[in-house]
Amino acid sequence: MDRVLGDKRAIFVLLGPALLVYSLVMLVPILWSLGYTVFDGNPIVGFTFNGLGNFTKFFQDPAAWSAIWFTIRYALVLTILQVGTGFGLSLLYVFWLKKASSTIRTIVFFPVVLPTVAVALLFQRLFEAAPTTGPVNSLLNVFGIPSVDWFGTPDASFWIIILMDLWRSMGFYAVLLYAGLLDIPEEMLESARLDGAGGWKLVRTIVLPLSLPVLLSSLIFSINGTLKVFDTIIALTNGGPGNATTPLTLYMFQTSFTYGEYGYGSTIALMLTILCLLFTVFIFRSTRRDITKG
C-alpha cells in the first residue's frame, strides 16, 4: 500500500509541473527581488551595488512615508468598515430575513465579480462634478447643497475610494460571515432566548463571541487584501490629487516602471510584504489575548 501511495515516479509526474512553474515564476523571482534591494539601476543601464542605500533612502523619502501612511489608513478604515458592514448584513440575513435572505444575499454579493476598472470608471461618473453633474452631486443639489469636486481634495478622494471598495466587498464579507453564523447551534440561541436575552444582548453575549474565529479570519483576509490595493486606485484616482492617494503598491509600480529604479522598487515591494506580515501577526496576537481573557 505505502509502496503505491508513495510511488516516487508518480509523485514526480503529478507534482513536478506545478512545482516547476511555481518555483521558476514565483520562488526564484521572490529571492531575485530580495537581491535587487541592495542594487541600484535597471536591466538597461546595468546595476551597481548600493548596500543598504535603498533602505536608508526609503526611510528618508517623504513620498514613501506618505504612501505607507495612506496604505495603513486605507487598510484599517476599509477593514473595519467592510468586516463591520459584512457582520451587520450577515446578522440581517440570519435573524431578520431568515429563509427569504437568499435573493438579497445574491444581489448584495454581485459587485464582487465585477472588474474593478469598470466599477472605478462608473464611480468617477457617479461622483462627477463637471462638465456634467453626476447623480450624487445632483442629489446634493436637490437639497440645496452645491456640487462637490470629490476628486479634487485628498480627503474626499480617500472617502470615495473607501466607499467604492465597501460597495464592492460588503456582500462578500456578509456571505463569509453568514456561513459562520449558521454554524452557531440553534439550541444555544434558543436557551439564551429563554433566559431572556434578546436583540442586541443576544448578539453581544452569544453571537459575537461564537463568531469570533470567523471574524478573525475575515479581518486577516481583509487586511491582507486591502494592504495590497492597486486596481481600485489606479483606475479611480491614479494616486491623485498629487500623490495624496498613492499606496505602496502604486508607488512601487511608478518607481519601477516610470522611473526605471528596479532596486528601489524592489525595496518598496519588500516593505509592503513586511507590512502584510506584521499586520497578520498583530491581529493574531491581539485576538488570541482577548480569547484567553474572556
Partner 1 sequence: MTTQTTAIASVHPRGLTSGGVPRSRRSTPRRFFARLPIRILIAVLLIVEIYPMLWMFLGSFKTQSEFLNDPFWALPKTWSLDNYVEVFDSGFGHYIVNSIIVVFPSLALILLFGVAAGFALEVMVWKGRGTVLLLFLAGIMVPTQMILLPLFTIYFRTGLTGTYWPLILTYVATGLPLTVFMMATFFRSVPREIFEASTLDGASILRSFWAVGLPLVRNAIFTVGLVQFFFLWNDLLIALTFTNSDALRTIQVGLLNFTGQYGAVQYGPTFAAIAVNVLGTLLLYLFLNQQVMKGLTAGSVKG
Rule CB under 8 A: which of 122-181 touch partner 1? 122-123, 125-126, 131-135, 138, 167, 171-172, 175-176, 178-180
Given a contact cutoff of 8 angstroms between Cβ atoms, the answer to whether 102 and 108 are in contact is: no
Residue 60 CB, nearest approach to partner 1 (Å): 21
Cβ distance to partner 1 smaller for residue 239 or 265: 265
Q: Which residues within the stretch 47-86 sit at the binding site for partner 1 (CB under 8 A)?
A: none
Contact segment (CB under 8 A) with partner 1 among 48-56, 57-65, 154-162, 269-277 equals: 269-277
Closest separation between CB of residue 51 and partner 1, Å? 19
Nearer to partner 1 among residue 6 and residue 62 (C-beta): 6
**Cell, residue 51:** 548596500
**Beta partners for residue 48, in sequence order:** 40
Given 1, 46, 187, 194, the residue binding partner 1 (CB under 8 A): 1
- Closest contact distance (angstroms) between CB of 39 and partner 1 is 11
- The site that binds partner 1 (CB under 8 A) totals a number of residues, namely 111
Selected range binding partner 1 among 52-60, 64-72, 148-156, 255-263, rule: CB under 8 A? 255-263
Looking at the Cβ atoms of 157 and 261, the one nearer to partner 1 is 261
Residue whose CB is less far from partner 1, 83 or 157: 83
Residue-wise DSSP of the chain: -HHHHT-HHHHHHHHHHHHHHHIIIIIHHHHHHHHHTTEEEETTTEEEE-TTHHHHHHHH-HHHHHHHHHHHHHHHHHHHHHHHHHHHHHHIIIIIIGGGHHHHHHHHHGGGGS-HHHHHHHHHHHT--SSSPPHHHHHHHHTTPPP--TTTSHHHHHHHHHHHHHHHHHHHHHHHHHHHHHTS-HHHHHHHHHTT--HHHHIIIIIHHHTHHHHHHHHHHHHHHHHT--HHHHHHTTT-STTTT--HHHHHHIIIIIS--HHHHHHHHHHHHHHHHHHHHHHHHHHHHHHHH-
Residue 258 makes contact with partner 1 by CB under 8 A: no
Interface of this chain with partner 1, residues 13 to 32, rule: CB under 8 A: 13-15, 17-19, 21-22, 24-30, 32
The footprint of partner 1 on residues 215-254 (CB under 8 A) is 216-218, 220-222, 224-228, 230-231, 234-235, 249, 252-253
How far apart are CB 146 and partner 1 at their closest, in Å?
A: 16
